[in-house]
Homo-oligomer: A and B are copies of this chain.
Amino acid sequence: MFKEIKVNYGSLFEEALLKEIEEIGVYKEVRKDDKLIEIGAYVKSMPLLISGAIKILREDDDGNELFLYFLEKGDTCAMTLSCCIGQGQSKIRAIAEVDSSLYMIPVQKMEEWTSKYKSWRNFVFASYHNRLLELLDTIDNIAFLNLDQRLLKYLQDKSKISDSNIVSSTHQEIAYDLNTSRVVISRLLKTLENKNIIELQRNKIILLES
């Protein structure tokens, strides 16, 4: 299991840090659709993603959902880091998009390593940086694009994550992620199909060439 850490993070972290991660980190496997973090939950450990992908969602007080971005291997969740500093409650929900494996690091180690290891510091900064860019991208999408374009991007994202041109979702699931209604998604998907951009099947959307 541990060699996985080396493969993904070996070039980033110095030997001593890798060793600490091995000693302290807890290896964990999660299945597709497993919930990793719920909104409001207290964050006690931060994940280093080894394989798979994690979907990060936002939800408002009325239960409206919005997909933010995916975490992939080599990523960590800056939002989690962030929560360790603040009041500690998660502002987001994290759900395994596919079967995934990760190393959980207790948050207490964070500050310690931040002083001790320059490579860890850089990793954390880079992680924050990437999350900021992702959020900006999300903002661009919802602020500047129409729903049909957002939908297409969403499908392409999903396709990329699962490394397949088939997206296995119901229209309702997509509607939740984009914070709209099923009927609207069905309508837009049908339009995309008529333009020969996708092909529709039950529980399946096939992205045609590209």
Contact = CB atoms under 8 A, between A and B. Distances in A.
A203 interface: no
Contacts of A144: 60, 62, 64, 66, 179
Interface stretch (A16-24, A95-103, A134-142, A166-174): A134-142
Contacts of A64: 143-144
Interface residues of A, number: 35
A36 interface: no
A136 B129 CA distance: 15
A82 interface: yes
B136 A58 contact: yes
A91 B60 CA distance: 27
A78 interface: yes
B129 A132 contact: no
Contact of A121 (B79, B114, B131): B114
A31 interface: no
A92 B133 CA distance: 11
Contacts of A86: 129, 133
Interface in A105-132: 114-115, 118, 121, 124-126, 128-129, 131-132
18 contacts: A58-B139, A58-B140, A58-B143, A62-B144, A66-B139, A66-B144, A78-B132, A81-B125, A82-B132, A85-B125, A85-B129, A92-B136, A114-B121, A124-B125, A128-B128, A135-B136, A135-B139, A139-B139
Interface of A: 58, 60, 62, 64, 66, 68, 78-79, 81-82, 85-86, 91-92, 114-115, 118, 121, 124-126, 128-129, 131-133, 135-136, 138-140, 142-144, 179
Given A58-B139, A68-B139, A79-B132, 8 more contacts: A64-B143, A78-B132, A81-B125, A86-B129, A91-B136, A115-B118, A135-B135, A142-B143
